[in-house]
Structures are given as C-alpha cells and as structure tokens.
A and B are shown apart, each in its own frame.
Chain A
C-alpha cells in the first residue's frame, strides 16, 4: 500500500492549514495588542502606581522600622510569642544574608496580588454561590486557569503589556485567584440551611442575609481560600520573574541558569520564610476571630 492508511496514522489536518490558523490567530492578536495595548496599559496604570508606591514604601523605610511593623502585625494577628519570635529571627537572617531588598519587593508584590485576588475573587465567589448557572460557567474557567501551564498565559500577557510589573501581577493573579473564588462559593453553599431559613423567616432581605449570615458563616472557608491564594501567589513569584518581576524570583532564576546552588537555596528559603509567615499569621488570625463558630465551644 503506497498510501498511508488512516487506521495507522491519526488523520491530521494539512500542515499548511495549521500554519495558516496559527498565523491568523497570532496576527489578529498582535494587531489587537498594537491597537489596544496602550489603552489597556493605561487602564492598569493606577494599579502600577500603587504597586510601585508600595514597593518604594517598603524599600525606602529604614529596615528596622519595617521589621518592627511586620513583627507588630504578626503579634497582633496571632498573639503567639513563639510565632513572633520565629518570624523576627527569619527576617533578621534574610537581611543578614543580603536578601532584604528582594524580599521587600516580593512582599509588596504578594500583598498587592492577594489584595486584588480577594477584591475580585470574593464577589465572583458570591455570584457563583447564588446562581447554579454562574457556577456551571465559572467552574470550567477556573479549572483551565489552574491547570494551564503558567508559561502559556504569560505569552499573551507579555504580548499585550510587554515585560514588567503589571503583566507579572496579572499572571500571578490569574494563577492564584481560583482558590479564593472556589472556597467563597463553597463556604456560602455550606452555610446551615436552617440558619439561613431563620433569617428569611424573620424577613431579612437578600443583602441582609448575605452580609449578616452567609459571609460571616462562610468566613472560615473563605479564609482557607485566601490562605491558599497567598501560597499560590508565592509559588508563582519565581515564574513571574521570567517576565521581569523583580524580587526573590530573579536570583533563583539566575541560579538555575548558572548552577549557583547556594544562591538558589538561600533565596528559596527566603520565599519559604515569607510563605510560613503569611500562612501561620492568616490562620492564627482566622482561628482567633472565629472561635465561636466551632460548634462545641467550651466556656
């Protein structure tokens, strides 16, 4: 048989057609980004200003003042001496090993990303919880966002906005936002039906139900989502450094290309220290503020 059978090889489309499709799509997107790139960049300008301002604030302030504020916040949120002492030691070590500035850059990036993710994620989660149709549309989108390799959606973001902080920020948010959306939705859906029914029976409007019952009762779950979002944002920091986000990710990237094991390890440990700080502090705060929700509480 001279001709290849379609039974042996998968019947493919013509190479030429595929190239044509790619060219058309890439071309269309390039045209789009040339046309609207500036407009979209202008749209994100306030965000950039805020990000730069916050980064400069952390960098310009004397290190001991920043350290004092961080330690103070950790203490206020957790009320645990052990945790506060641990964080202090870790931050001092970071500074001693010369990673203070990069850590501040990453800290500002994570803070802004988390803030944006919460700002966007909770309302989306609420919409999902209120409508089954919204849930069935948004869930697959979230699945794609979580499983699509981060590099893939870095490409269009970079094409559109170039290299820099804002594309990095967008990439991190896309990667990190699904947990807060999912768990807001789940938390609201898991609110005790009878409690919600009671609120309805006493004539609560849907806004009163949302802010008086659903959100407060969903808070532990939402907090778990925020926690996950922070962790994922931290994990994304290294990848985002590929598109020019400064911080702890860049030395790691440099270590990979140059095989500097110690440099990589130290910066990696600094990221871990930040992660532990965010995780423990947010969990301790959540636990303290929701001690009545546990059910079998003891007076």
Chain B
C-alpha cells in the first residue's frame, strides 16, 4: 500500500460522460450500460469510467492509452479544464471540485502547470514573454518575471532566443519553451499532455533525456500522458494503462511488462523491446556466490557451499572481483592463513543495477560467469546469468513468433 503522507493527487470514482444530459446517462452507466451501447442508444459518450488513482509526490506518473482512450480527458480533470460528471479530485488534500472561480484560478496559477501536445504557445508574444506568461497572470512585476524566465530559458538550453517569436523556432525548441513556461511558475505539479508526441523521434528522445535530467534536480510531481509505450517505460516511475475510459492496470514499468493484467496489456507490451525497456535490477538474482572471508581458509570454506566453482569477493570496500575455487585451493596449499588479497581474485567488471539490459548483452557474452551487479556505492546487489537474460528477452521472440 502507498504511503499516505506521500500521496499528492488522488482521484476517486471519477466518471465523465459527454452529451446533452450527462446526469441521466450516468444512471445508465451505473446500471451497467457499456460505452458502445451508450453512444448508439442514448447518444452520450462515456469518456471516463470509475477512475481511481493516487499519485505520489515526486514521481513521474505516466498515463498511457491509445487515441480515444480518454487519457487527454483525464489529465484535464486534474486542473479542471474539464469538469467531471461525478467523482472526487483531491490535490494535496484539497477537493478541487469545491473551489470557486477565484480559488480555482489561484490553484491553477500556483499548484499546477501544463505542457501541451501542440505546444500552446502564444504566437503574438516573444519567447521570453511566453515563458513568463504564468508569472504575468499572477501579477508578478515585469522585471522580476523576465529575469526568472531568462533563467529557465537557459536551463532548457534556449539562451539567446529570448526575443524570437514561436513561429521562428523548430518544434523541439518550441516545446522547450513550453517546458520552460511550465517550470517558470514553480508549480509543484507538472501536467504533460502528449508533450513529446508531435516531435521527431530523435528530438523526442533528447527531450525525454532532458526531462529525466531536470527531474533529478527538481523532484516535481509529473503526470505524463503518452500513447507511446516505449516513452512510458522510459520515463515512468509508475504507469497507468487506460482503455476505453477505464483503467486497466497501474504499476511499475517492469510489472506492466512482466505481469500484464489483461490480454489487452499483453498485446500492448508484446512488441516492446525488452532489452531496452528493462534494467538489470529487474532480472538479476540475489547474490548467492558471495565470499567475504578475510583468510584463504575461511574463503575456501565459503566457496565449498556455493553452487558454482567461483564466487564474488566482497570486503568493506564493496565488490572486488571474482575468485575461482581452483585459485583458492592452490593458495590454500601454500598458506591457509594468508589474507585474501588482489593476487587471489581476478578482475571482472561489475555491471550497474540501473543499466538497461541491452547495454550488458556484450558483457554477458564475453564471460562464462554470472555477472556481478553492483549499486552506485559498489555494493554487490545481485548477479545476472546469461540464462536469465535469455529467458526474459527470449520471451518476446516466442510470443512474436506465435
């Protein structure tokens, strides 16, 4: 269960029906009338059905679905660009539905900012005026807001473009302006509606990198909408999959990939390049072959309990290298009480737990040992066997063939 204190946004029992008389249609929906039937017989569109979500502080929460799944409708409920037919939206404990006109304006000014698919920049304002728009709306003095906007422009890498107009910039640059505008208000929550979907693949991946980089520094809460599963897997701390206005599955990227909840999700994730989407951490086994003893004798005792003829030597400074049983036995014959030192272990490069599987494939092929996996501090976290890797990656090929 999620940590209650960490929860920033909560959506409860959210319904949205489009049409002339949504309330009447709601009773039909509650009585179990489906989306297609509602449209055909009652001329109402079921946009969202019984959505329940919690989004935690500081995470990138990706809402993924194909076009028409209701994802853009859903994100517009967070800042009430669209009002729900029924349901509750809580942001930081405040019921957004209870806000009056003025309070809602204040809420939008300070709590959330938004990045749009087609940028939503104002063509009659220069880049810097666009970036400072949120502050202008708040009534911040011109000098102050332009200074701040200039800083954010520099952060997104558009220094020198202040006086240009949006129409003079490329798509990628325009979206950087959109991003800078969103960051400029210092809002805690960032809503990104298919923010990178209109960009070329290369620019898109650059922007994704930039977003991840910024997020490492800023720790915003980001709600990211996309129809691109690769993008979702790359950015998302957690992913929600939306189909026909209903939530199908919510979970971490590897849960979505490895334990799809329904056939729909399974079909969705089938074509994903797992080698690129999964990290070592999700595939590695716990580190069994760990040798920690200080003397050769004790080390050989530990080695005898291991399943293989080698082990990873770990001392106070973390992972050091791989130790072979053969080497240990030779050293034991010479001096059983000698300390284990660099002459005993062989260097074997460890791989990072955060590394994407694709990047470690060469290493797994080069060596016959299981690869040691370490964290940022050099501590042994697990081991990655070639067979585990093949199993995870091979799974896709069989289902593709089928």
Contact A201 B124, beta carbon cutoff 8 Å? no
Task: Report B160-172 CB contacts with A as 1/0, cut-off 8 Å.
Answer: 0000110110000
Q: Does B116 touch A at the CB level, under 8 Å? A: yes
Contact A201 B81, beta carbon cutoff 8 Å? yes
Most central of A195, A198, A204, A295 by chain B CB within 10 Å: A198
Other-chain residue from A202, A204, A292 in contact with B123 (beta carbon distance below 8 A): A292
In the bound complex, residues from chain A placing their C-beta under 8 Å from that of B114 are 198, 201-202
In the bound complex, residues from chain B placing their C-beta under 8 Å from that of A295 are 123, 167
Q: Which residue of chain A lies nearest to B130 when distances are taken between CB atoms in the complex?
A: A198
Other-chain residue from A199, A203, A217 in contact with B107 (beta carbon distance below 8 A): A203
Contact A203 B123, beta carbon cutoff 8 Å? no
- Docked Cα-Cα span, A293 to B124, in Å, equals 6
Contact B167 A203, beta carbon cutoff 8 Å? no
Assuming the contacts A203-B137, A296-B167, A298-B168, asked whether A198 and B124 have C-beta atoms less than 8 A apart, the reply is no
In the bound complex, residues from chain B placing their C-beta under 8 Å from that of A216 are 122, 124
- Docked Cα-Cα span, A180 to B304, in Å, equals 93
- Docked Cα-Cα span, A204 to B185, in Å, equals 13
| Contact residues of B: prevailing secondary structure | mixed
Q: Which residue of chain B lies nearest to A195 when distances are taken between CB atoms in the complex?
A: B120
In the bound complex, residues from chain A placing their C-beta under 8 Å from that of B79 are 201
Q: Does A132 touch B at the CB level, under 8 Å? A: no
Other-chain residue from B109, B116, B164, B168 in contact with A203 (beta carbon distance below 8 A): B109
Other-chain residue from B119, B138, B168 in contact with A297 (beta carbon distance below 8 A): B168
- Docked Cα-Cα span, A203 to B191, in Å, equals 14
Q: How far is the CB of A225 from chain B (nearest CB, A)?
A: 18
Q: How far is the CB of A203 from chain B (nearest CB, A)?
A: 3
In the bound complex, residues from chain A placing their C-beta under 8 Å from that of B112 are 201
Contact A297 B116, beta carbon cutoff 8 Å? no
- Docked Cα-Cα span, A11 to B330, in Å, equals 126
Q: Does A194 touch B at the CB level, under 8 Å? A: yes
Assuming the contacts A295-B167, A296-B167, A299-B168, asked whether A203 and B105 have C-beta atoms less than 8 A apart, the reply is yes
Residues A240-299 near B (CB distance < 8 A): 290, 292-299
Q: How far is the CB of B185 from chain A (nearest CB, A)?
A: 7
Assuming the contacts A195-B122, A203-B108, A292-B123, asked whether A299 and B164 have C-beta atoms less than 8 A apart, the reply is yes
Assuming the contacts A203-B106, A203-B108, asked whether A297 and B137 have C-beta atoms less than 8 A apart, the reply is no
Contact A200 B81, beta carbon cutoff 8 Å? yes
- Docked Cα-Cα span, A86 to B124, in Å, equals 32
Q: Does A205 touch B at the CB level, under 8 Å? A: yes
Most central of A217, A219, A296, A297 by chain B CB within 10 Å: A297
Other-chain residue from B107, B113, B165, B191 in contact with A292 (beta carbon distance below 8 A): B165
Assuming the contacts A203-B107, A203-B108, A294-B167, asked whether A197 and B81 have C-beta atoms less than 8 A apart, the reply is yes
- Docked Cα-Cα span, A192 to B136, in Å, equals 20
Q: Which residue of chain A lies nearest to B126 when distances are taken between CB atoms in the complex?
A: A292
In the bound complex, residues from chain B placing their C-beta under 8 Å from that of A213 are 122
In the bound complex, residues from chain A placing their C-beta under 8 Å from that of B191 are 201
- Docked Cα-Cα span, A298 to B137, in Å, equals 29
Contact B108 A217, beta carbon cutoff 8 Å? no
Q: Does B196 touch A at the CB level, under 8 Å? A: no
Q: How far is the CB of A188 from chain B (nearest CB, A)?
A: 14
Q: Does B15 touch A at the CB level, under 8 Å? A: no
Q: Does A49 touch B at the CB level, under 8 Å? A: no
Other-chain residue from A217, A296, A298 in contact with B124 (beta carbon distance below 8 A): A217
In the bound complex, residues from chain A placing their C-beta under 8 Å from that of B133 are 199, 202
Q: Does B242 touch A at the CB level, under 8 Å? A: no
Other-chain residue from B120, B136, B138, B167 in contact with A198 (beta carbon distance below 8 A): B120
In the bound complex, residues from chain A placing their C-beta under 8 Å from that of B116 are 194, 197-198
In the bound complex, residues from chain B placing their C-beta under 8 Å from that of A217 are 122-124
Q: Does B134 touch A at the CB level, under 8 Å? A: yes
Q: Does A24 touch B at the CB level, under 8 Å? A: no
In the bound complex, residues from chain A placing their C-beta under 8 Å from that of B134 are 202-203
Contact B121 A195, beta carbon cutoff 8 Å? yes
Contact B109 A202, beta carbon cutoff 8 Å? yes
Task: Report B313-327 CB contacts with A as 1/0, cut-off 8 Å.
Answer: 000000000000000
Q: How far is the CB of A24 from chain B (nearest CB, A)?
A: 44
Q: Does B220 touch A at the CB level, under 8 Å? A: no
Q: Does A80 touch B at the CB level, under 8 Å? A: no
Q: Does A208 touch B at the CB level, under 8 Å? A: yes
Task: Report A179-200 CB contacts with B as 1/0, cut-off 8 Å.
Answer: 0000000000000101101111
- Docked Cα-Cα span, A203 to B134, in Å, equals 8
In the bound complex, residues from chain B placing their C-beta under 8 Å from that of A298 are 168
Residues B262-298 near A (CB distance < 8 A): none
Q: How far is the CB of B296 from chain A (nearest CB, A)?
A: 67
Other-chain residue from A195, A202, A292 in contact with B108 (beta carbon distance below 8 A): A202
- Docked Cα-Cα span, A282 to B185, in Å, equals 39
Other-chain residue from A200, A202, A205, A293 in contact with B113 (beta carbon distance below 8 A): A202
In the bound complex, residues from chain A placing their C-beta under 8 Å from that of B121 are 195, 198
Other-chain residue from B108, B118, B137 in contact with A194 (beta carbon distance below 8 A): B118
Q: Which residue of chain B lies nearest to A217 when distances are taken between CB atoms in the complex?
A: B124
Contact B120 A194, beta carbon cutoff 8 Å? yes
In the bound complex, residues from chain A placing their C-beta under 8 Å from that of B124 are 216-217, 219, 290, 292-293
Most central of B117, B119, B167 by chain A CB within 10 Å: B167
Contact A204 B137, beta carbon cutoff 8 Å? yes
Q: Which residue of chain B lies nearest to A290 when distances are taken between CB atoms in the complex?
A: B124
Q: How far is the CB of B173 from chain A (nearest CB, A)?
A: 12
- Docked Cα-Cα span, A216 to B168, in Å, equals 19
- Docked Cα-Cα span, A198 to B113, in Å, equals 9
What are 28 sample pairs from A and B whose C-beta atoms fall under 8 A apart?
A194-B119, A194-B120, A197-B116, A197-B120, A198-B116, A199-B137, A201-B81, A201-B112, A201-B191, A202-B109, A202-B133, A202-B137, A202-B185, A203-B105, A203-B106, A203-B108, A203-B138, A204-B105, A205-B105, A208-B137, A212-B122, A212-B136, A216-B124, A217-B124, A292-B123, A292-B167, A293-B124, A297-B168
List chain B positions with a Cβ less than 8 A from chain A. Answer: 79, 81, 105-110, 112-114, 116-124, 133-134, 136-138, 164-165, 167-168, 181, 185, 191
List chain A positions with a Cβ less than 8 A from chain B. Answer: 192, 194-195, 197-205, 208, 212-213, 216-217, 219, 290, 292-299
9 more contacts with CB within 8 A, not counting A195-B122, A200-B108, are A200-B81, A202-B114, A203-B105, A203-B134, A203-B138, A204-B137, A217-B123, A292-B123, A299-B168
